[in-house]
Amino acid sequence: MLLPNQLFESFKNVSFIDKGKFIEAHQQAPVISVRLNPLKPSDAFNEMLGVPWCEYGKYLHERPNFTADPLLHAGCYYVQEASSMFLEYALKKLIHFEETIIALDLCAAPGGKSTLLSSLLNEESLLISNEVIQNRASILTENMTKWGQLNTWVTANDPKHFSPLKNVFDVVLIDAPCSGSGLFRKMPDFVNDWNQDTVHLCSQRQQRILHDIFDAVKDDGIMIYMTCSFCEEENEDIVDYILNEFEVDTCSLKIPEEWGVVETQSTKAKGYGYRFFPHLLRGEGFFLACFRKKNAEHHLPKLTISKNSKYKPEVSNITEYVNIESKVTILQHDNLFLIEGSHAVYAEYFAKHLRLIKKGILCGKLIRTEVIPEHELAMYANTRKDIASVELSLNEAILYLQKENIEINCPHKGWFIVTYKGHNLGWIKNLGNRVNNYYPSNYRILNKNILSA
């Protein structure tokens, strides 16, 4: 791969770069890694070497045919670039996860950082996972659905829509859209589209996004800025911009030297940043910087539940599917949602300001008192384990995920969850003379020859 010359000029102050080794690393294959879902433990990749900065991160020797593995579709793991898993280390250094945290992942699709953060949060905590581009927001919703947590909601908003939300989030992640040079090894085509003008445009957009979101961070809250760019204009210069524009402190992280992560300081304000270079560690290019907001004058928003909202106790057979203790159900246009009890106020608050496209778990349509189950309910990590289920072989599981008709022996008529290696894949309904496949059409595997691919 031929790297653009201008790329080296774009990290003019990064004196420690060994150009030769950097170029050499770009001739090698990208690192393949996954992060396991602690709520859906399986034996997948157990024997693989761990990523040092991430408890559930694993390096793989080669890229398997991920699409042909039903456990990926069951949400047992997420394919994520290893350097970006460093977010976990930074979060653990700065946040007390035993406390209730209200978090926002502003640029979240396809969901790598959101699934990572959601695995660290306790049940009372809440993550708003946002993506402005609509088709990417759908992919984000799919991935968050598969990850299976009640306390991760999805919104599809422009960062400026968050401006009226003052002092709301304890943690805000800004994994900013960037020029992407850190991913050249993974996406060689990016090299052709890369130029200094794009870097400059990205830098301006990053500044706009930061302005739009800053007030939404709580006093004393943490803001984490990340890119997958090597360029200083999008990294250290943005750190300088943040320290100049906003009332924040830079946060330094103590990092074991042997990891090969490089600590940098911005030219003017000397803010800390952490850089990942492919010639120094097993991962792609990545940058992360953390800030703590200094006390500002905003007051916490007063959150209330209006009298006419439709929060229902157990008016249906929902308890056959989930334990609803400490939770509430919300009925909207016959759709029954399950959310954590303490999140009810947030459901109203966020719905007022944002385009909320996933909240809690959509359990199903309520027809009189019967829940017609939805896919989200099957994917929820805490659905009841005694729901009628049928275990599938690999071939059957793939047919199911392709939304083909499958012949399965069910012991009686009605709804069943189908499983692979004990993990839920979705619903079928046995009508007696045939079995209907309820796998969502938009999630189905399109490649008909996936097992031989």
- 223 binds ligand SAM, rule: CB under 6 A: no
Q: Containing H/E element for 71? A: helix 70-73
Q: Containing H/E element for 435? A: strand 435-437
- 90 binds ligand SAM, rule: CB under 6 A: no
- 238 binds ligand SAM, rule: CB under 6 A: no
Q: How far is the CB of 404 from ligand SAM (least distance, A)?
A: 30
State both tokens at 270.
Answer: 């000397």
Q: How many residues sit close enough to ligand SAM to count as binding (CB under 6 A)? A: 16
DSSP state of 301: P
Q: How far is the CB of 307 from ligand SAM (least distance, A)?
A: 36
**Residue 305 CB neighbours (<10 A):** 13
Percentage helix, strand, coil, to 5, in the chain?
30, 25, 45
Q: How far is the CB of 417 from ligand SAM (least distance, A)?
A: 28
- 52 binds ligand SAM, rule: CB under 6 A: no
Measured in whole angstroms, the distance separating CA 214 from the mean position of its chain's CA atoms is 21
Stretch that binds ligand SAM, among 125-133, 330-338, 392-400, 408-416 (CB under 6 A): 125-133
Residue selected from 69, 88, 175, 234 as contacting ligand SAM according to rule CB under 6 A: 175
Residue type at position 49: L
Interaction residues for ligand SAM, span 4-43 (CB under 6 A): none
The pairing of strands 169-175 and 217-227 is parallel
Give the separation between CA 72 and CA 76, rounded to whole angstroms: 6
**Residue 322 CB neighbours (<10 A):** 20
- 131 binds ligand SAM, rule: CB under 6 A: yes
Q: How far is the CB of 287 from ligand SAM (least distance, A)?
A: 11
- 159 binds ligand SAM, rule: CB under 6 A: yes
Q: How far is the CB of 61 from ligand SAM (least distance, A)?
A: 23
- 209 binds ligand SAM, rule: CB under 6 A: yes
- 92 binds ligand SAM, rule: CB under 6 A: no
Stretch that binds ligand SAM, among 129-137, 249-257, 307-315, 355-363 (CB under 6 A): 129-137
Interaction residues for ligand SAM, span 94-123 (CB under 6 A): 107-113
133 class by beta-carbon count within 10 Å (0-12 exposed, 13-18 middle, 19+ buried): middle
Give the separation between CA 155 and CA 140, rounded to whole angstroms: 10
Contact residues: ligand SAM, CB under 6 A: 107-113, 131-133, 136, 159, 175, 177, 205, 209
